[in-house]
Amino acid sequence: MENQVRLSVVIPVYRSADCLAELMRQLDEELGKLTAVSDFEVICVNDASPDSSWEVLSNLQKQFSWLVAINLMNNVGQMKATLCGLEQARGDLILTMDDDIQHRPDQISKLFDQLLSRPDLDCVLGFFPQKRHARYRNLGSEFIAWMNRHEFKLPKHLKTSSFRLMRRSVVNSTLKHQTANPDISVLIYSSTSRIENVPIEHNERFAGESTYTVAKQVQLAWDNICNVSVIPLRLVAISGVLMSLFATSLVLRALYQYLTGVTQVPGWTTIVILLGFISGFSQLSLGILGEYLVRMLKEVRGDPRYVIRTIERQKKMPSSEEWSSSRENRLAETRAES
């Protein structure tokens, strides 16, 4: 079938040694059922995991010819590890998913069917009617989703998810962004608005415990705020205006008391409260401005987002250009024979 597509699956890996063998087994079974896929690859990016994830991946790579195993030199976080996989992916469609099998391989076909049946869409996101995460993770996800909807004017019903299927054009656009603190969802939303949700089932984690602690969730939320929004700066500006109005009212009150002769000795408590309030607000403002300056410094400095230590693969999927060229040759041969 000449209308078949090539599929790349990108999976960031961290502390999931006990999940990987079962995940690869399920992927081998489910991806083989996709009749519209002519070729596929699974790119697992080991984010310098301290457990035996890399050793497991290296052994699995010898078993599955479609598996590409990438080992990073330092732990860079899920977003940058995913970005590394996207830059290595060569498929026409690219799927991203987690490594703990909470994103079920048997649900990939639902994303696949939706995107192929809707040529007007550029990306589909898995939507979990019933999430099997801790409550704090769900709250954090809801907050980040609200931020994205507000900043990118997204439909209210759209749910953010890392279980997503994208066309090559979306990935190419995403990779053009050279931000030092990438957020894949944010980059996708800034690239296209042709996105829809697909309801899918959510699994319990296959093995081990989630590495997303409350602190990491807060950090992720803060990164999202600073990366896509100027709300903190606007809040500082609004607070500054309110404080100015408050200070002006105090000055007018003091002036009135002076002119009417009712001025008393200034109260020590009032002075302390005002000085403490103003100095505290000033420190807060400087802290928020400093956070943005640090991020600007990282962008200007141009540090690498990740460094690859090793790539192991048995075969290399042809690039889009190579595939198009070979496809044209096959079509020409078919016409010549007829």
Give residue-wise pLDDT tens across range 60-117.
999 999 999 999 999 999 999 999 999 999 999 999 999 999 999 999 999 999 999 9
For tokens 């931020």, name the residue: 147
Angle at 74 between CA 73 and CA 76, to 5 degrees: 130
Q: Are 171 and 111 within one domain? A: yes
Which of 100-109, 157-166, 300-309 shows the highest mean pLDDT?
A: 100-109
pLDDT band at 140 (very low <50, low <70, confident <90, very high): low
What is the per-residue pLDDT for 124?
A: 97
Average pLDDT over residues 32-38: 92
Q: Are 236 and 189 within one domain? A: no
Q: Are 32 and 9 within one domain? A: yes
On whether residue 222 sits in a domain, the answer given is: no
Q: Are 80 and 194 within one domain? A: yes
**Out of 153-157, 240-244, 325-329, least confident range:** 325-329
**Out of 169-178, 260-269, 289-298, least confident range:** 260-269
**Out of 95-109, 255-269, 281-295, least confident range:** 255-269
Q: Are 20 and 123 within one domain? A: yes
What is the per-residue pLDDT for 135?
A: 59
Q: Are 49 and 189 within one domain? A: yes
SS3 content of the chain, % helix, strand, coil (to 5): 55, 15, 30
Total tally of structural domains belonging to the chain: 2
Average pLDDT over residues 194-213: 73
Q: Are 178 and 324 within one domain? A: yes
Q: Is a pLDDT exceeding 60 seen at residue 136?
A: no
On whether residue 22 sits in a domain, the answer given is: yes
On whether residue 55 sits in a domain, the answer given is: yes
What is the per-residue pLDDT for 308?
A: 96
Give the whole-angstrom CA distance, residue 254 versus residue 199. Answer: 63
Average pLDDT over residues 274-280: 66
Task: Residue 311: name the closest of 26, 45, 81, 32 by CA.
Answer: 45
* 34 vs 229 pLDDT, higher one: 34
CATH number at residue 9: 3.90.550.10
Task: Residue 130: name the closest of 138, 141, 120, 121 by CA.
Answer: 138
Q: What is the mean pLDDT of the chain?
A: 79
Q: Is a pLDDT exceeding 90 seen at residue 302?
A: no
Question: At 7, phi and psi to the nearest 5?
Answer: -120, 135
On whether residue 216 sits in a domain, the answer given is: no
On whether residue 220 sits in a domain, the answer given is: no
Average pLDDT over residues 263-290: 65
On whether residue 150 sits in a domain, the answer given is: no
Q: Are 171 and 64 within one domain? A: yes
Q: Are 168 and 315 within one domain? A: yes
Average pLDDT over residues 106-131: 91
Q: Are 163 and 91 within one domain? A: yes
On whether residue 143 sits in a domain, the answer given is: no
Domain of residue 180 covers 5-135+157-211+307-337
What is the per-residue pLDDT for 186?
A: 82
pLDDT band at 1 (very low <50, low <70, confident <90, very high): very low
Give the whole-angstrom CA distance, residue 152 versus residue 227. Answer: 12
Q: Are 180 and 109 within one domain? A: yes
Q: Are 288 and 313 within one domain? A: no
Q: Is a pLDDT exceeding 80 seen at residue 129?
A: no
Average pLDDT over residues 217-229: 64
On whether residue 145 sits in a domain, the answer given is: no
Average pLDDT over residues 38-50: 95
